[in-house]
Structure 1
Amino acid sequence: MKFCMVTTFFGAHSFGGDAAYVDRLTRALCRRGHEVHVFHCADAFNAVRGAHPLRSYTPPPGLHIHQLESGYGVLSPLATQMTGRPYFKAEALRAELDAVDTDVVHFHNISLVGGPGILHLGRRAARIMTAHEHWLICPMHLLWKNGKKTCDGPDCTRCTLAGGRPPQAWRYTGAIDRGLRELDALIFPSRHALEEHRTRGIGAPLIHLPYFLPDDWSAGIEDEEPEMAERPYLAAAGRLVRMKGFQRLIPLMRYLPEVDLRIAGTGPYEQTLRKLARGLPNVHFEGLLGGQGLARLFHGARAVVVPSLFPETFGYVVLEAYAVRTPVVVHTGGGALNETGVLSGGGLGYSNDAEMLQAMRRIVHDDELREELADRGFTMRTGEWSETAHMDKYFGLIHGIQTGRALPPPHRPPTHRAGPLPHGTTLRNEWSSRN
């Protein structure tokens, strides 16, 4: 089949997160012999990258990358941000997405590559979208209100202005609802993210499909002894921005002098974090690491700490830790982190700084606890969060759309599980009238 992926950031022009999933999905499809095209907006990356370096990226055989550059620089993503339409990118996208041989169009982070105005493209294909962030219900993407706390109710104009972004008047025109009606399925990597969207008015059919890691992501190091480090250490990784919560973690290392903290990543908050770490010889910054470097760092750690303050939609770093048999310590107020990092069985949760310190102490000094958590996490990585499980569900979803069969009913919490769809109702018929 021919797949077209549409996303804002990808490959060398990316920050991780959603781009990491798109890369892993495209590679899995290419390994299975499919033709894959990825469309991403270089104008958008250059407009927001700041000092962020280009990533080293080598595409796999069978992947066709379409780097969208308009010649208008920042005006291209700005026009999309202000209007919710692709404008300078429309023709390039339409030519491939509307082609008669395109089988599947999979939208991802569309915020600066076209907004909801591109969701009508690809009418001949199965059209799906993965919500990697909360952009559909939050103009700031993160449900992080005024840059200070988890959103407890919409105050979008004030929050957008406080975040230094132009207001998006098109959000009040029904553009998102109209765009979503063009889709055959809207996918979420966690139940938490799915329910957050449902409660804020995003309708069915909503599909839960967790992230995965390629089978060879860690190159088998999880079965080897970790590299010897001079001292035991905790690891953390992510873009160095305020809402990731590293500023809550670093000062606590003063009370764990027997353990190092090694932080991987770069970002605009890096210098602030480095200043915070002055006088703490057990805090180290590792810079931007690729997949193998990150796997080695995590494999040798007593635990990976994920201190995110804002609502994560999954927390890929949790899965990356599990892949090398390393448990996690996660902030339970970080959205899906309680689901992926605690309820999964592979980590400890905390709700405040005192609990974080206690959890880190336990996992550093209790070998039996650490081993038990590591085994549970690894079971998730090789089971529900494996490449095979993910791709089986992914192809099942697409096959159901293409054949017009009824798909699994929209997700409901386990205590309020929904019954089956009415007889004869299909995903396409429920949400789209384009037959």
Structure 2
Amino acid sequence: MRILIVHNRYQHAGGEDTVCDAEFELLRSAGHDVERLIFDNHEISGRMQAARTALLTPYNPRSRRLLARSIAGFAPDIVHVHNWFPLASPAIFDACAAHGVPVVWTLHNFRVTCVNALLFRNGRICEDCLGRSPVAGILHRCYRGSLGGSAIVAATEMLHAALGTWAHKVDRFIALNSFARDKFIQAGLPRERIVVKPNFLPDPGPPRDEPRAGALYIGRLSVEKGVDTLIQAWQRMPMALTIVGTGPEEPKLRKMAGKNPNIHFAGHCTHDAIASMLLRAQLLVVPSLWYENFPMVIVEALAHGVPALVSSGGALAQIVTDGVDGWHFAMGDAADLARVVRRLLETPSLLSAASTQARRRYEQDLTPVASLRQLEAIYAAARPHVQMR
């Protein structure tokens, strides 16, 4: 197939960028003809450019023209959108419709129904705008604390819901898990066009048979990630914890940890360094307070045979099976998190068995082969008369 991938990169690289790049390489390696049209938020520099971007977020004619030009030159069978916010704008869907090219859109976040895309506000889950008007998102300044910015994002959601952009100009939506799919259905997206396909990771190879010790947290140090819950749980824990990452909560979290000898802040680490840590770790902890979609760090942990201890709210409880390839604890409950870790320390065989199951889960569902098979099926369903070569 001829596949055109469209993606708006953020200024700080994240999981969406990683998935987009990985799928591009996966499709090319399988023999498909793949091109990319990339919009980059690094282009937004200075107040004038930021103001112009904000005004054009609901509909950017320039982005529509750029995509129309790419479609005319490449003649794709499918356009696969990963992110349109904010530079690309939903105008890109009109370009596809005008050229009669089917569209697949991976829903990496909840932007279609939530101003901050997280369904999270003031330290808790928030569904005030789910399937309803996003006016609450404006009143609460949910986009970066800005009234104007929140109004722009809300206007974008309302405009394209009213125009039928989501209902009529996207042939298949990809949700990363069934929990998210249910939320998107509640938001009003057409049930019959939402399919589930998890993220994947190139195989790092079977885990080495070496001693493992300690727990890891890997991710941004921000409120929704729940790292404060993790540190509270670890105050009297006889197990080493390494916290990898940086973010706005770092000073507060370091203060909370105090001089606890079992808590180490590693800061930003390279991918190779993280892979090396996963090879030696017993446990990954994901204490998120929001509805994570499908964190790449969990995929990587499973691939390395590291079971995950995750908060029980949202999709994480579906991604990790309690007592099989990991465990659950009550979201935001430090005492419950500590209870589960103590149980694992008292019964080391649980960690060993879950390590085997973690690697097995990766091999069954999260490999490049599995992802390619799913992607090709989704493209075929979006445009059934196009035959796979």
Q: Give the TM-score, by structure 2 length.
A: 0.86
CA distance in 2, matches of 1:71, 1:86: 18
The question of whether the paired residues in 1 share the 8 Å contact of 2:217 and 2:286 is answered with: yes
**SS where residue 365 of structure 2 aligns?**
coil
Name the residue aligned to 2:20.
22
Alignment correspondent of 1:120: 94
Name the CA distance, whole Å, in 2 between partners of 1:90 and 1:269.
38
Aligned to 2:133: none
Q: Give the secondary structure class of the aligned counterpart of 1:36.
A: strand
In the TM superposition, residue 22 of structure 1 has moved relative to its aligned partner by 0.9
* Structure 2 residue 40 is the aligned partner of structure 1 residue 4: no
Indicate which of 363, 366, 371 corresponds to 2:344. 363
Pairwise CA distance, 1:116: 2.2
1:78/1:350 CA distance change after superposition, 3 Å: same
> For each residue in 1:278-337, what CA deviation from the matched residue of structure 2 results, as whole angstroms up to 9, or x when unmatched?
22222222222333322221221120000000111122222211111111110012x210
Equivalent residue letter for 1:394: L
Residues 111 and 293 of structure 1, relative CA distance in 2, 3 Å threshold: same
1:240-264: per-residue Cα shift (whole Å, max 9, x none)? Answer: 21111111111322211x3221111
Per mean C-alpha deviation after superposition, the further-off stretch among 105-114 and 169-178 is 169-178
- Mind listing any 5+ residue stretches in structure 1 that lack a counterpart? 48-68, 406-435
Separation in structure 2 between the aligned mates of residue 176 and residue 317 of structure 1, nearest angstrom: 37
Instruction: Specify whether residues 70 and 113 from structure 1 end up closer, same or farther in structure 2 by C-alpha distance, changes over 3 A only.
Output: farther
Please report how far the alpha carbon of residue 193 of structure 1 lies from its aligned counterpart in structure 2 after TM superposition: 0.2
Matched residues, number:
369
1:188 maps onto 2:186 in alignment: no
> C-alpha separation between the residues in 1 aligned to 2:120 and 2:106?
20
**Contact map agreement 1:142 1:311 (CA 8 A) in 2:** yes
Does residue 1:350 correspond to 2:335, yes or no?
no
**Which residue number in structure 1 is paired with residue 30 of structure 2?**
32
Counterpart code for 1:179: T
**Quick one: distance in 2 between partners of 1:99 and 1:274?**
53
**1-structure distance, mates of 2:104, 2:227:** 34
> 8 Å contact 2:64–2:95 — kept in the other structure?
no
Residue number among 192, 197, 219 corresponding to 2:184 in the alignment = 197
Q: Deviations over 1:131-186 (max 9, x none)?
A: 011111111100003x3211142232223357413213243334476222111100
Residue deviations 1:330-376 (CA, integer Å, cap 9, x gap): 0012x210100235931110112111001122233422111222222
Q: Find the counterpart in structure 1 of residue 214 from structure 2.
A: 233
Query: Which among 219, 223, 227 is matched to residue 208 of structure 2?
Result: 223
**Could you say which residue in structure 2 is the equivalent of 1:375?**
356
CA drift at 1:71: 12
User: Which residue of structure 1 aligns with residue 239 of structure 2?
Assistant: 259
For the structure 1 residues 364 and 317, does the alpha-carbon distance in structure 2 shift closer, same or farther, using more than 3 Å as the test? Answer: farther
Q: Contact 1:76 / 1:87 at 8 angstroms: preserved in 2?
A: no
Alignment correspondent of 2:224: 243
**CA pair 88-161 structure 1, distance change in 2 beyond 3 A:** same
Q: Aligned equivalents of 2:163 and 2:370: distance in 1?
A: 31
Match of 1:150 in 2: 125
Matches within 5 A, 1:18-417: 18-42=16-40, 44-45=41-42, 73-81=49-57, 84-99=58-73, 101-122=75-96, 123-145=99-121, 147-154=122-129, 155-161=136-142, 163-165=144-146, 166=149, 167=151, 168-175=154-161, 178-180=164-166, 181-204=168-191, 205-215=193-203, 218=204, 220=205, 222-225=207-210, 232-256=213-237, 258-333=238-313, 335-342=314-321, 345-351=324-330, 352-404=333-385
Aligned letter for 2:368?
E
SS in 2 for 1:7: strand
The whole-number CA distance in structure 2 between the counterparts of 1:312 and 1:141 is 11
Aligned-partner residue type, residue 315 of structure 2: A
Instruction: State how far apart, in whole Å, the 2-side matches of 1:280 and 1:401 are.
Output: 54
Structure 1 pair 161–264 and aligned structure 2 pair: CA distance change class (3 A): closer
Contact 1:237–1:264 (Cα < 8 Å) also in 2: yes
* Distance across 2 between alignment mates of 1:336 and 1:310: 10
Distance 1:139 1:303, change over 3 A: same
Structure 1 Cα separation of the partners of residues 108 and 234 of structure 2:
31
Contact 1:322–1:378 (CA under 8 A) maintained in structure 2: yes
> Structure 2 CA distance, aligned partners of 1:241 and 1:392?
35
Q: How far 1:224 sits from its partner (Å)?
A: 4.3
Task: Measure the CA separation in 2 of the matches of 1:267 and 1:37.
Answer: 33
Letter in 2 for 1:223: R
Partner of 2:84: helix, strand, or coil?
Answer: coil
Measure, in 2, the Cα distance between the counterparts of 1:273 and 1:209: 34
Q: Secondary structure at the match of 1:115?
A: coil
Decide whether aligned partners of structure 1 residues 121 and 87 sit closer, same or farther in structure 2, where only a CA change above 3 A counts: closer
Whether the 8 Å CA contact 1:234–1:304 is kept in 2: the answer is yes
Q: Which secondary structure state, in structure 1, belongs to the residue aligned with residue 320 of structure 2?
A: helix
CA distance in 1, matches of 2:294, 2:19: 11
Amino acid across the alignment from 1:403: P
Structure 2: gaps spanning 5 or more residues:
130-135
Residue 202 of structure 1 and its aligned partner are, at CA, apart by: 1.6
Further displaced range: 186-195 or 364-373: 364-373
- Whether the 8 Å CA contact 1:28–1:214 is kept in 2: the answer is no
Report Cα offsets for 1:106-149 as digits up to 9, x if no partner.
1112121323222122334331000011111111100003x321
Q: Is the 8 A contact 1:8 1:112 kept in 2?
A: yes
Cα pair distance change 1:304/1:127, threshold 3 Å: same
